[in-house]
Amino acid sequence: MKRIYYILFLLLPAFLQAQEVLIDEVVASVGDNIILLSDIESQYVQFRMQGNISNASGIRCEILDNLLFQKLMLTQAQLDSVEVTEARVDSELDRRLRYYIAQFGSKEKFEEFYNKSIVEVKEEFREVIREQLLTEEVQMKITRDVKITPSEVKSFFNRIPADSLPLISTEYQIGQIVCKPEISQKELDIAREKIAGFRNRIKNGESFETLAILYSEDPGSAKEGGFIGTVGRGDTYPEFEAAAFSLAKGEISEIIKSEAGYHIIQMIQRKGDYIDVRHILIRPKVDPYELQDAFNRIDSVKKIIENDSLSFEKAALKYSDDPGKINGGMMINPLSGSTWFSADELDPQVFFVIDKLEIGEISTPVKMTTEEGTEAYRILYLKSRTIPHRANLKEDYNKIQQWAQQEKENNALAKWVREKSEKTHVAIDEKYLTCPILQKWVKK
């Protein structure tokens, strides 16, 4: 149930395409909330884009089952007077639009492909997003107090047939200590003088977009004339945000310094708590001598650890320039929130280094590029490496706990659906009543 529900949250392009080609009709209703044929087909398009489909009718049945579940939650949200703010709806719309615009390469290409402006897309999709956020609130309320105990985890595991236990691929726990070179005042002055020159040229009539394409050192936005997309509060560096939100339409900012370097910003338009802006970024260069000094410092840290003078965790806390030092230098997997990574979840440059290490070994200093785009050095530490194996409670307890938790939440949701659907008017077009999965919605 949740698998399809999650995909729904990424369905903007398919939704827009289906809206244009379908002759719509109502196929089901839950309370006062209807489900259209286009609702099913827009999701079916997404499934079809993911690969070959051997059972089209079965997929459509699953989609409708999931939509009935969502509409039941929406009905409950309406009964409970659950609300979501306009700011939250806007934030979610902008988040998804940024994702899809990035896939197309630019806002203009996105608009050209769908023959709709960003404003039109947002208005067309606003109510869909609002409903999804409302149902998400209800779903979280249903599962909020669902907890799993150790005995339930063990019982869940013991119910899995031995030949059905999943194969766990190799995973790694990795630490890093980062040493960033100092940026000399000379290089800071050179960068500031350079961007000041660009600001003067723009003030004298030259094109902001052209100069951004030619000279900006932000590779993501330079090719788009400096356009960074629609951003909200909290999406950029604090100094950048403060300057950008203070600008009037068409205005050019003063020179702004952030962790990334020096910026000048041009306001395109403001939409409440969201803005469209361009910028030109110039990064201060790292002096080769400072970079060599960073290498020497991180190499010294490696020797301190290897001489047992300091543990890796304590050395990270004392010497690392990376925020992750508060976790003992352990890298956190953004996909799972844990310290474990599979090979395909690692940066190839990291994997290339740690794959050659023995457990407990520390790498030689390796060059890296920081999030700010500057060169630095780090040492990598392989804390643990698993070998491919069938899941077991000793090595994979956390994973099994998550699976058991998910099953318990799904059971809670299924129970809720049974109870609420008995008290709610549900109507389904007769041509879908042949779907076995939908029989639970039919009142006996």
Q: Which residue ranges make up each domain of the chain?
A: 2-149+403-441, 168-182+287-390, 185-282
Judge whether 168-182+287-390 and 185-282 match in fold.
yes
Dist CA 332 CA 206 (whole Å): 45
Average pLDDT (315-344) is 90
CA angle centred on 138, ends 134 and 143, rounded to 5°:
145
Closest-CA residue to 62 (of 327, 341, 432, 429):
432
CA angle centred on 290, ends 288 and 294, rounded to 5°:
115
| 368-409 pLDDT, tens digit each | 988 777 889 999 999 999 999 999 998 889 889 989 999 999
CB atoms under 10 Å from CB of 155, counted, come to: 11
More confident residue, 10 or 426: 426
Output the pLDDT for position 426.
92
* CATH level 2 (architecture), domain 2-149+403-441: Orthogonal Bundle (1.10)
Output the pLDDT for position 374.
83
Amino acid code (one letter) for 166: P
Amino acid code (one letter) for 76: Q
The correct CATH number of 185-282 out of 3.40.50.300, 3.10.50.40, 3.90.1640.30, 3.40.50.2300 is: 3.10.50.40
- Strands 171-179, 340-342: pairing kind: antiparallel
Dist CA 184 CA 192 (whole Å): 13
Output the pLDDT for position 4.
36
Output the pLDDT for position 118.
80
CB atoms under 10 Å from CB of 264, counted, come to: 25
Output the pLDDT for position 53.
63
Closest-CA residue to 373 (of 256, 262, 230):
262
Phi, psi of 88 (to 5 degrees): -70, -40
In this predicted structure, the answer to whether residue 52 has a pLDDT above a threshold of 70 is no
Dist CA 180 CA 375 (whole Å): 7
pTM comes to 0.61
Dist CA 230 CA 224 (whole Å): 13
CA angle centred on 364, ends 351 and 382, rounded to 5°:
45
Q: Share the mean pLDDT of the chain.
A: 87
Average pLDDT (298-302) is 96
* CATH level 2 (architecture), domain 168-182+287-390: Roll (3.10)
| 111-143 pLDDT, tens digit each | 888 888 888 888 888 888 898 899 989 999 999
Output the pLDDT for position 305.
94
Dist CA 386 CA 383 (whole Å): 10
| 178-209 pLDDT, tens digit each | 999 988 899 999 999 999 999 999 999 999 99
Phi, psi of 31 (to 5 degrees): 60, -125
162 conformational bin, left if phi > 0, alpha if psi -120 to 50, beta if neither: alpha
